[in-house]
Chain A
Amino acid sequence: MTDQSSDQPGEERGGTTRRRALMLGAVGASAVVSIRPALAQTQASVINCEIPVPDAGRAGSYIAADGSIVPAGTPGAFPPASLAFKGEDVKTALAGGQLPGTTYEQNQAYVKYIRRLQSGTSGFTCFASLQMPRG
């Protein structure tokens, strides 16, 4: 169904047989723009969302160097972050920056923890939205 008659200017106009020029375009070009569903995670909300390390269900546990959650006091592991990290901070950290108030090794461990977040864990939606840059 066409809402408006789709005329084809140039195509056999006035009885001539001159064909309309058409470019297929470069391989890397694009002829289709799809309208994406609006995600709940708008830009503003990403900046305003946060990720606790570790999540509230395991508050007090330590974070090992590989990002796993270990009992409090485990040697070589890092104590929980005192405040949840903001989406912006995590975004920077994922790009190679450092989470505020962390040492180098602590930052590495926290970032690994964040990367391992599972759906359903607090902070996951925030993290997932950071992984999906809007076009």
Chain B
Amino acid sequence: MGFRVGSDWRAPIAELERLYAGYPQPEDGIPDFTVRLFAARPWRRWLRPAVTLGGDFVLPDAAPLPLAQGLLAAEMAMNLQMALGQRRYLLLHASAVERDGCAVLMTGLSGAGKSTLAALLGARGWRLMGDEFALVDPATGLVHAFPRLVSLKNAAIDVVRAALPEARFGPLLAGTPKGDIRHLVPDAEAVARMAEPAQPALILFPRFGFDAAERGLGPSEVFVRLTQASTNYVALGERGFEAMTRLVREVPARAIDYPDADSAIAQVETLWSAL
């Protein structure tokens, strides 16, 4: 998935260029989606500059962001293209990591910790496939990677920095609609192997802020939760149904509660080795 990003300001583009420096160009030079960051009113380019999100697919009435959060605006706009426009893959709002050709998908509400867990697992020898979207190919059932900047929020920022002292990060974006945000640049392996899909092997529904616990889920509960985590399940029609029922029937799913990152990592590793 490639994007073309245009902006009324230089700064967001410069940040994207720096943070996505090692990424390949879109195949044939033709990106899948166009994103635009623009000033809704001409004077908003200079006077309290506000970035409006535009592109092939837009949400009308989306609130603009201050220019200082231009990088966030760019990431949001790209995610929006995927959420609204993706029709090749079944799109799950989930993070994904891979080991030995098999993938763990982690999905949950905002704040569940899916980005943090993916980043931390990435620090422990797993390949980061993505922290926002997992792309399931209806034809093969394989998960395709979408390893974009990992969006870390609030307390997770320091947790991940401690675990990955060598990693590159974007600027601290303070006071965004989602609190403080800092982006982690995926490591070289995640970028180099982004074209390599993986077999989904475990689906996790993590929940942060509770005593460590885990439980299995019935297939119908998994089905409902995954359709809620997908932005294009219905739009894909029978292909979406095929991909989803395959996941639900073939991939074990667990809900895990965790009080802190270490405990979550231990839970994931335990579940993984029991597969």
Q: Which A residues lie at the B interface, using CB under 8 A?
A: 3, 33, 35-38, 40-42, 44-45, 47-51, 84, 86, 122-126
- Are A49 and B224 interface neighbours, CB within 8 A? no
A residues in contact with B62, CB < 8 Å? 45, 48-50
User: Bound complex: CA of A118 vs CA of B234, how far in Å?
Assistant: 28
- Are A40 and B84 interface neighbours, CB within 8 A? yes
User: Bound complex: CA of A126 vs CA of B63, how far in Å?
Assistant: 10
- B262 proximal to A (CB < 8 A): no
Q: 15 interchain pairs (CB within 8 A)?
A: A35-B234, A36-B234, A37-B234, A38-B230, A38-B233, A38-B235, A42-B231, A45-B62, A48-B62, A49-B62, A49-B63, A50-B62, A86-B63, A123-B61, A125-B59
- B165 proximal to A (CB < 8 A): no
- Are A122 and B234 interface neighbours, CB within 8 A? no
- Are A50 and B63 interface neighbours, CB within 8 A? yes
- Are B59 and A49 interface neighbours, CB within 8 A? yes
B residues in contact with A124, CB < 8 Å? 60-61
User: Bound complex: CA of A48 vs CA of B178, how far in Å?
Assistant: 10
Which residues in chain B, 169-217, are within 8 Å of chain A measured between CB atoms? Answer: 177
User: Bound complex: CA of A47 vs CA of B245, how far in Å?
Assistant: 32
A residues in contact with B61, CB < 8 Å? 49-51, 122-126
Distance of B207 from chain A, by nearest CB (Å): 17
Assuming A3-B245, A86-B63, A125-B60, is B177 touching A48 (CB within 8 A)?
yes
Chain A minimum-CB-distance residue to B91: A38
A residues in contact with B227, CB < 8 Å? 35
Chain B minimum-CB-distance residue to A126: B61
A residues in contact with B59, CB < 8 Å? 40-41, 45, 49, 125
Chain A minimum-CB-distance residue to B84: A40
- Are A122 and B60 interface neighbours, CB within 8 A? yes
User: Bound complex: CA of A49 vs CA of B83, how far in Å?
Assistant: 16
Distance of A12 from chain B, by nearest CB (Å): 27
User: Bound complex: CA of A84 vs CA of B64, how far in Å?
Assistant: 11
Distance of A91 from chain B, by nearest CB (Å): 13
Assuming A35-B227, A35-B234, A36-B234, is B110 touching A44 (CB within 8 A)?
yes
Distance of A90 from chain B, by nearest CB (Å): 11
- B232 proximal to A (CB < 8 A): yes
Closest 5 CB pairs of A and B: A126-B61, A37-B234, A125-B60, A49-B61, A38-B231
B residues in contact with A84, CB < 8 Å? 63
- Are A35 and B233 interface neighbours, CB within 8 A? yes
Distance of A134 from chain B, by nearest CB (Å): 9
B residues in contact with A49, CB < 8 Å? 59-63
A residues in contact with B224, CB < 8 Å? 33, 35
Chain B minimum-CB-distance residue to A4: B249
User: Bound complex: CA of A41 vs CA of B83, how far in Å?
Assistant: 11
User: Bound complex: CA of A86 vs CA of B177, how far in Å?
Assistant: 11
A residues in contact with B234, CB < 8 Å? 35-38
Distance of A129 from chain B, by nearest CB (Å): 8
Distance of B63 from chain A, by nearest CB (Å): 5
Assuming A35-B233, A38-B230, A38-B232, is B177 touching A47 (CB within 8 A)?
yes
Distance of A46 from chain B, by nearest CB (Å): 9
- 10 extra interchain contacts, Cβ-Cβ under 8 A, other than A48-B177, A49-B61? A3-B245, A37-B234, A37-B235, A38-B230, A40-B59, A49-B59, A49-B60, A49-B63, A50-B63, A124-B61
B residues in contact with A44, CB < 8 Å? 110
Most A Cβ at <10 Å: residue of B59, B232, B233, B245: B59
A residues in contact with B233, CB < 8 Å? 35, 38
- Are A48 and B232 interface neighbours, CB within 8 A? no
B residues in contact with A51, CB < 8 Å? 61
Chain B minimum-CB-distance residue to A86: B63
